Amino acid sequence: MDDTIVQRDVVQSGVVIAVDIGTTGTKVLAVNTDGQILASHNIGYDLHTPKPGYAEQDPIEILHAVIQGVKMIVEQALLNREDILCVSFSSAMHSLIAVDRYLEPLTACITWADQRGTSYADLLKKDKAGLAIYHATGTPIHPMSPLIKLMWMREHEPELLRSTYQFLGIKEFILARMFGQCVIDYSLASATGMFNIHHLEWDKDALELTGVRAEQLPRPVPTTFQLKGLGSTYATAMGLSLDTPFVVGASDGVLANLGAGALELGVTAVTIGTSGAVRAAVNYPMTDPAGRLFCYALTEKLWIVGGAINNGGITLRWARDQLFSAETETARKLGEEPYDQLIELAQTAPPGSGGLLFLPLLTGERAPYWNANARGVYFGLSLQHERRHLIRAAMEGVMLQIRTVAQLLEPACGQAREVRASGGFARSAFWRQMLSDVLGTPVRVPQSFESSGIGAAWLGYHALGIEPDILGIHRWVKLDESMSHEPDATNHQLYSDMADLYDQVYTQLEGQFEQIVKLQKLSLS
């Protein structure tokens, strides 16, 4: 839990409260008209894995986290009710909750990380109908998407599917409880795999696969849509006025681009937290011929294309826990940060990790492979390799995976002239320089790491008409020149050679991943 507090005299002409609902916690920010964060508060919650392949959360727990987070921000920033212009939302994608007509959950919140529908995704990818649905919806065929989750539910829980009043994501659930209206913004709708991005309506062919009726899904609305008529119980609990407007907002992915100012051709956003993503903005819905990139709406005239990877910071955490465990325990006892020591050790290994290559596919992979069965691989391991090589290779593997996605964007968006970095990895100069060397592109870092929350706040001001041009966020986005990096030409050539080999190794092993997963299940049972 972290808190930032700024003097009340900078509230000035009003504040937008931005609520960023993430996978591991909800962060709430108070942001004034200059883009200054007056206060921030984070509340974490657990991910539950009751069965192999399941990844669920308690939607009521997350609802309470949002309420508590807003309440804390109002108190910390000493906000009067009239100071608060609106509450605007950012949210993680691909979640699914079945609710009854009283908006009580019938299921847990099934998250993007849930893998129970893997076999259905595999079958749909092999069917020509799968690629057609991808081109209509902009969501790659993968068990993360509500489309696949509902296909699984149709066969395994048919009565639940028929009797559900509404299928909602976590943000839609929270707003429905607060306002009694079931709506979904275009960006999150376009991440369900069931929303036609060309016509901005639910796709009939996708719905036919799920057995879900259109009336069982929330009403799609623009990301600037405002909800009014906040329930009195919620208003009191959060310290808000009954007439405080709520802007439905968008997904954390598209808002990360907005908050980083990555909205023009040639500027790409790279975010690495637990997972990671590469994204760029285009002015029209765009899909990939092979179904490898997503395309999600920010507004009706601004779209974010790119690809998400499963294994970002989680790879470094694995390296810490499995290759650096003794030092990690010692560091914790001394009150030190074990990641700092881990990265220091990695820096003692040369670029290329002494000819050691790592495919960081520890939890399967999304872009560009969309292969839930993919697994991690060390390639080239020899007696000469030490822990420092293994750790650096794991970090380099993440960056090489990022590169595979970035290259897919070039046909439509051109080669990036600049990368805007955000997420936890952007705090590390070593990782930032490695990203620049792997991509061969300058890397810049916004002064605020809260790109999704800042994007939600700007979208709130835009929805209210205070900021008429959504592209005007450049006024807020200040780059930290002390965290800028230029690519090293020698390292870039080395990493380019490694990237070619990386692709070859994956291609050679692609057919064997399913076999090793079967063996893992037998061995671990």
Structure confidence at residue 5 as a pLDDT band (50, 70, 90): low
Query: What is the per-residue DSSP string for 153-196?
Result: HHHH-HHHHHH-SEEE-HHHHHHHHHHS--EEEHHHHTTTT-EE
Q: Over range 165-187, report the average pLDDT.
A: 98
User: Is the pLDDT confidence value at 26 over 60?
Assistant: yes
Average pLDDT over residues 377-388: 98
Which residues are 110's β-sheet partners?
A: 56, 96
| pLDDT at residue 6 tops 80 | no
Percent of the chain at pLDDT exceeding 70: 97
Backbone angles phi, psi at 39, to 5 degrees: -160, 150
Of 141, 160, 198, which is closest to residue 372 (Cα–Cα)? 141
Tokens found for residue 71: 């309440």
Q: What share of the chain is helix, strand, coil (3-state, %, to 5)?
A: 45, 20, 35
* 91 has pLDDT over 60: yes
pLDDT in tens, 243-292: 999 999 999 999 999 999 999 989 999 999 888 999 999 999 999 999 99
**Residue of 294, 238, 278 whose CA lies nearest to 423:** 278
* Whole-number Å distance between alpha carbons of 393 and 354: 9
pLDDT score at 106: 98
Q: Which two tokens stand for residue 37?
A: 């964060």
Q: What percent of the chain is predicted at pLDDT more than 90? A: 88
Whether pLDDT at 62 is above 70 = yes
C-alpha angle 423/426/430, rounded to 5°? 145
Residue 60, pLDDT score? 98
Average pLDDT in the chain: 94
| pLDDT over threshold 80, residue 188 | yes
Q: What is the pLDDT of residue 333?
A: 86
| 271 token code pair | 């975010």
Q: Residue 116's closest CA among 164, 148, 78?
A: 148
Residue 10 confidence (pLDDT) above 80? no
Per-residue pLDDT band for 450 (boundaries 50, 70, 90) equals confident
Rounded CA-CA distance 457/88 in Å is 6
Distance CA(208)–CA(477), nearest Å, equals: 43
The C-alpha atoms of residue 304 and residue 263 are separated, in whole angstroms, by 9
Each residue of 323-356: pLDDT tens digit? Answer: 999 998 888 888 888 899 999 999 999 999 999 9
As a whole number of angstroms, the distance between CA 293 and CA 413 comes to 13
Q: What is the pTM of this model?
A: 0.91
Per-residue CA distances from 512 to 224, 373, 506, 519 (Å): 46, 9, 10, 11
- pLDDT grade, residue 449 (50/70/90)? confident
- Per-residue confidence (pLDDT) for residue 4, from 0 to 100: 57
Q: Residue 124 above 70 pLDDT?
A: yes
As a whole number of angstroms, the distance between CA 139 and CA 117 comes to 15
- The torsion of the CA quartet 276, 282, 288, 289, rounded to 10 degrees, works out to -170
